[in-house]
Amino acid sequence: MTQITTTFAGLKLKNPIIVSSSGLTNSAEKIKKLEAAGAGAVVLKSVFEEQITVQAGQMSGYGAPEADDYLSAYVRSNALNEHIALIKEAKKECNIPVIASINCYSTSEWTEFAKHMEEAGADALEINILSLQTEKEYKYGSFEQLHIDVLKNIKNAVKIPVIMKLGNNLTNPVALINQLYANGAAAVVLFNRFYQPDINIDTMAFTSSNVFSEANELTEKIRWTAISSASVPKIDYAISGGVHCGKGVIKSILAGASAVEVCSAIYKYGEKEIAEMTKELTEWMASKGFENIESMKGKMNANAAGSINPFERTQFMKYYSNHE
């Protein structure tokens, strides 16, 4: 019988579908519905350092440093307490793995946050370091080093698996993934999605582009997962962004992923899409003779490509030759 159980970051999942951090995972009631719909795990809605910092700043300015410090600490404590309550309630109501999430851009107090999340019962912790590097005097490599420093600090504080969710604004993801593995990361997720600003030419106002991912975004993740899983095979991988159907799950696993993080597809098509994905995955595996996820994982990563590696090709000449 075909088995679609998988292991990701040391966690046992009944299937590779993880619902990623979003409004879909901001309450125990919603998570319970996702579990009933077939989700293998969930990543809770993130604690955002940027949001906390902005809120703390808005409450400061009372003239007394002691008052400002108190209000800043209150905002941070309140944000943490809300997340702790969500972890506890989700663990009480659900049986699937619950992964806490921190979205940060500094080393600040995240070590303390992580300890409280572990104590609340989180099965793992996903760290997002999502930041654009725009300084004119930028020191090459400092952004990558920030990932390593944050990981080290958190690994010194907790025993649960730590997952690093990377942005796609890296010169060489493979080199960073290798260092993250060396410093104790249990898994990496490729990739986080930046907020994308846009301009409304009618109102001359700033706006946002499409919030949801599109299926065509998957190819970038497949490329880097296929390359990275071949070069750094001992760490687990998940693909996030562009997985909109069972075919996307299949491609991700063939590229080397142990799991996928799904969000936009559920917003667009509903929770029933989880069952559709697992059904398509199971049927495809049976048709190809794969008995379990491990037997198909990485079958089409960079190691399988041979000497002419399509994942490292950057030119279109071969594909455009018929369109001259």
DSSP output for 156-193 = TT--S-EEEEE-S--S-HHHHHHHHHHTT--EEEE---
Question: Cα(150)–Cα(162) distance, rounded to whole angstroms?
Answer: 11
Q: Is the pLDDT of residue 74 over 70?
A: no
pLDDT in tens, 220-263: 999 999 999 999 999 999 999 999 999 999 999 999 999 999 99
Residue 98's DSSP bridge partners are: 42
Residue 279 DSSP one-character state: H
Residue 100's DSSP bridge partners are: 125
The dihedrals phi and psi of 189, each to the nearest 5 degrees, come to -120, 130
Phi/psi-derived region of residue 32, left when phi > 0, alpha when psi is between -120 and 50, beta in every other case: alpha
- For residue 217, give every residue at least 6 positions away whose Cβ sits within 8 Å of its Cβ, in sequence order, or none: 241, 242
For residue 68, what pLDDT is reported? 41
User: Is the Cβ–Cβ distance between 48 and 59 less than 8 Å?
Assistant: no
pTM given for the model: 0.88
pLDDT in tens, 268-285: 999 999 999 999 999 999
What CATH number matches the domain at 6-323, 3.30.420.40, 3.20.20.70, 3.30.390.30, 1.10.3470.10? Answer: 3.20.20.70
User: Is the Cβ–Cβ distance between 167 and 192 less than 8 Å?
Assistant: yes
DSSP string computed for 83-111: HHHHHHHHHHH--S-EEEEEEESSSSSHH
Single-letter residue type at 88: K
**Sorting pLDDT into bands at 50, 70 and 90, what band is 107?**
low
Phi/psi-derived region of residue 66, left when phi > 0, alpha when psi is between -120 and 50, beta in every other case: alpha
- For residue 41, give every residue at least 6 positions away whose Cβ sits within 8 Å of its Cβ, in sequence order, or none: 8, 11, 13, 18, 19, 96, 97, 98, 99, 123, 259
**Sorting pLDDT into bands at 50, 70 and 90, what band is 104?**
confident
Distance of CA 38 to the CA centre of its chain: 19
Instruction: Give residue limits of the domains in the chain.
Output: 6-323
For residue 266, what pLDDT is reported? 97
Side-chain-side CA neighbours of residue 60 (13 Å) = 14
pLDDT in tens, 133-167: 778 887 888 999 999 999 999 999 999 999 999 99
**Percent of the chain at pLDDT above 70?**
83
Residue 163's DSSP bridge partners are: 126, 187
